[in-house]
A = this chain, B = another copy of it.
Amino acid sequence: MKIDPTTPADLSQQIAKAIRDAIISGALPVDERLPSEAELADQFSVSRPTVREALKRLAAQSLIRTQRGATGGAFVNRLRFEDAYGQQITTSTLLLSMNDVSFATACEARYALERACAPLSAARRSADHLATMRAEIHRQEQPGLTDEAFCASDVAFHRALVDAAGNPVLSYQLAGAVEAMQPLMNMITFTARSREMIIGLHGDIADAITEQDAANADKHLAALANYTQELARNVIARRNMRKGAE
């Protein structure tokens, strides 16, 4: 592993890239121990703090883990789906909040992806996933539920629907789309009436998945997508009216 000595700035970034490339290429396999910080400093001809900054960059991406002590050091970390979920959700949330993505765009993406999962979920759903979906619907029917709790349960319902597809790659991809929507969904305060409608559609979807009826599941998901978009349009229109009245 070499770094370019002609561009002196950001040594820690260059070192991080060199090590990251070695991990991606497979030259450093999972659980392999990196040389100690002192050895890396020697190899790259930099100081230990600079090496440490590079290692912290990699740790922030869950590419390495560190351990203190005699046999400690930095080890190549097996990137697990659960670890990646968190990063995916953080990134997606910030992308939406920092780039003026309209609710309509985010909502469209979310339901398009979710509808892609539905046929697989219908085919492979386990009793566990069905039970989770039913439990969340039941929770959503509780009258005293706060808007935040309702939205959280909504997310849990949809994640169960996605997980039912039994494809971890899909679950990972969808985690970002579904979870990142929650702050936007929270902006839309659900009235009792709209909750009723949504719970009804959740029930229809759960029924279709139970009966392994992919076409019906898709139909009801599409209906839910349309209803959500309509709700959002109303909320936005009302907000604009209020603004105009001020």
Chain A residues proximal to chain B, CB less than 8 Å: 12-13, 16, 20, 23-24, 26, 30, 49, 52-54, 56-61, 63, 78-81, 84, 87-88, 90-99, 101, 105-106, 108-110, 112-113, 115-117, 120, 167-170, 172-173, 176-177
A91 contact set on B, CB distance < 8 A: 61, 79, 84, 87-88
The verdict on A167 contacting B105 (CB below 8 Å), with A24-B90, A49-B49, A116-B113 known, is yes
What's the Cα separation between A169 and B173 when bound, in Å?
12
**Copies, count:** 2
* Contact A105–B23 (Cβ < 8 Å): no
Quote the shortest CB–CB distance from A26 to chain B (angstroms): 7
Q: Which residues of B contact A58 (CB under 8 A)?
A: 60
A172-B95 CB under 8 A given contacts A116-B112, A116-B116: yes
Give the CA-CA distance A54 to B20 in the complex, in Å: 19
Whether B101 contacts A16 by the Cβ 8 Å rule is no
Chain B positions within 8 Å of A79 at CB level: 91, 94-95, 98-99
A42 to chain B: closest CB distance in Å?
19
Q: Give the docked Cα–Cα distance between A96 and B52 (Å).
A: 28
Q: Which of B53, B95, B108, B109 contacts A56 (CB 8 A)?
A: B53
Complex Cα spacing A96 to B58, Å? 18
Nearest residue (CB) in B for A94 is B79
Q: Mind listing 7 A-B residue pairs with CB under 8 Å? A: A30-B98, A58-B60, A78-B98, A88-B91, A106-B169, A112-B170, A113-B170
Give the docked Cα–Cα distance between A112 and B170 (Å).
Answer: 9
Interface centre among A52, A60, A96, A101 (most CB of B within 10 A): A60
On whether the beta carbons of A176 and B173 are closer than 8 Å, the reply is yes
Q: Can you add 4 more A-B contacts, CB < 8 Å, to A56-B57, A105-B167, A112-B120?
A: A92-B172, A96-B169, A109-B173, A112-B116
A167 contacts B94, C-beta separation under 8 Å: no
